[in-house]
A and B are shown apart, each in its own frame.
Chain A
Amino acid sequence: MTDPAPSLAEELKRLEEIVRRLEREDGDLDQALALFEEGVARLRLARERLGAAELRVKKVLEDAEGTLRATDLETDQ
């Protein structure tokens, strides 16, 4: 039951933060360009992830030792 990648919501939050910083930024071109590049990269990534997202449904069971186990649940498309 692990989820390493940051959630899309976190991505959006970071993206909005970058936009806000870029909007605040007045004149430091190097910094602005760096922010812009990061923003564009995240934007593309978020779009890709949004497009590629496939619902994962897991069934959670408790084994004899009382440990929770999540197994994929067959779902009709």
Chain B
Amino acid sequence: MDDLFTPSPDAPWTPVQLARAARRVMESGIGPIWVRGELTGLKAYASGHWYFTVCDRLAQIRCVMWRKWTQRLKTPPADGTQVYLLGTPTVWEERGEFRLNVTQLLVTDRVGAQQLALERIREALARDGLFDPSRKRLLPETPSRVAVVTSLEGAALRDIIHVARRRWPSVQLFVFGARVQGSEAEGDILRALAMVNRAPRIDCCVLTRGGGAKEDLAVFNSEAVCRALAAVEVPTVSAVGHETDLSLTDLVADVRAATPSAAMELVLPDQVEFARQIAGCGIRLATALGRTTRLGRERLERSADRLQASLDQRLERRRQQLERLAAQLDALSPLKVLERGYSVARDREGRVLKQLSSFSPGLDFTLRVADGDVPARVRESA
């Protein structure tokens, strides 16, 4: 960066260089600040941008507020209104003019100190990323154990129990009692939220109370409560007041519900729907088994056919083998030889007599010829 403080005629700055340098110095040197003063000369353009001046007895500062920020405000305040402004001092380069780039405008006599404090907390929480959509967690599909931080006496708890009983009675509710309005409320809720983190196997946490006057809901805008809610280790639901109430805990929680009953509708599944799912499973089970048995039967039938075919084949082979053997046997049969004029001598035991020495004198034997046996005897002497 060029040195601002050693002027040299050899290297003069262009106006834009100077304007940019001034802007850098201004923006980084002061940063976002709250300014309180009187608003005058406001011009609201069709583009949505507002231009005005904030002043006190001794000085005035030109301000610009872009449409992005004016959108949240309904009508421009009248001249002379006392306002709080959150903005970053900057330099408008084209004109070389000092401007306050305003992002928030609070009319002090209308909103009061409480609102101002609220806006400060909102600012601090936003700066720390507690409203970031990216840190939002999903609620568990079917929680078994739900922590509820609320008053033990309030209507909110009754509503919650009622909805839980109707919708998903197998859930266990763990109620961490805390006063939800008055001076003790903040301490109670902080203690309860810390206890939720210590309780085992909690699936999600609901911070809730029923509707009430704005002051009654104040504790749900407490910075400490918001930070404690953000530190709860399981997904959180904030349900404070009626439909129209919006508190900072609603912005910090993972999910916002309009009422305590609505919170339970979001947290718990519906047992009617669940029963329908179970019934669907039953039908699918039966269908799948039917298909498997059909496939099995078809496969079995195919196997039986194959078995039959293979048996038939094997039998045929055996038959052919048998015939072949029979032919062979037939060719080898001694009867075939006898047909040619030979005969066989056998003794009574059926032994074949092959040698002269076997024929002892007087021996009875039979002579087998081609068509039968002939009884015979060896004569006394040969």
Contacts and interface: CB of A to CB of B under 8 A. Distances in A.
Interface of A: 1, 3, 7-9, 12, 15-16, 18-19, 22-23, 25-29, 32-33, 36, 39-40, 43, 46-47, 49-50, 53-62, 68, 70, 73, 75-76
Given A22-B288, A32-B293, A62-B195, A1 B200 contact: yes
Interface string B133-162: 000000001101101000010000010010
Interface in B208-257: none
Nearest to B149: A60
Interface string B253-293: 00000000000000001010011011001101100110111
A70 B147 CA distance: 12
Interface in B153-202: 158, 161, 164-165, 168-177, 191, 195, 198-201
A28 B171 CA distance: 39
A65 to B, nearest CB: 13
10 contacts: A9-B141, A12-B278, A19-B281, A22-B285, A57-B161, A58-B172, A59-B175, A60-B147, A73-B175, A76-B158
A46 B274 CA distance: 10
B296 interface: yes
Contacts of A50: 170, 271, 274-275, 278
A56 B165 CA distance: 9
Contacts of A53: 168-170, 271
A3 B295 contact: no
A19 B284 contact: yes
Given A27-B292, A29-B293, A16 B281 contact: yes
A1 B164 contact: no
A42 B293 CA distance: 21
B299 interface: yes
Given A12-B278, A57-B173, A7 B142 contact: yes
Interface of B: 141-142, 144-145, 147, 152, 158, 161, 164-165, 168-177, 191, 195, 198-201, 269, 271, 274-275, 277-278, 281-282, 284-285, 288-289, 291-293, 295-296, 299
A21 to B, nearest CB: 9
Which residue of A22, A40, A47, A55 has the most chain B CB atoms within 10 A of its CB atom?
A: A55
Given A43-B281, A47-B275, A55-B161, A27 B299 contact: yes
Contacts of B281: 12, 15-16, 19, 39, 43
A61 B178 CA distance: 11
Given A18-B285, A55-B171, 6 more contacts: A22-B288, A27-B299, A29-B292, A32-B293, A39-B281, A43-B282
B296 A29 contact: yes
Contacts of A36: 285, 288-289
A57 B158 CA distance: 11
A26 to B, nearest CB: 6
Contacts of A23: 284, 288, 291
B284 A47 contact: no
Contacts of B169: 53-55
A49 B144 CA distance: 13
Question: Considering the complex of A and B, which 3 residue pairs feature the smallest CB-CB distances, nearest first?
Answer: A9-B142, A53-B170, A22-B288
A49 B169 CA distance: 10
A53 B271 CA distance: 10
A50 B289 CA distance: 25
Contacts of B282: 40, 43
B165 A8 contact: no
Contacts of B173: 55-58
A61 B296 CA distance: 60
Given A26-B292, A53-B169, A75-B161, A3 B201 contact: yes
Contacts of A58: 172-175
Contacts of A60: 147, 174-176, 195, 199
Nearest to A46: B278
A1 B285 contact: no
A33 B281 CA distance: 16
Contacts of A22: 284-285, 288-289, 292
B144 A32 contact: no
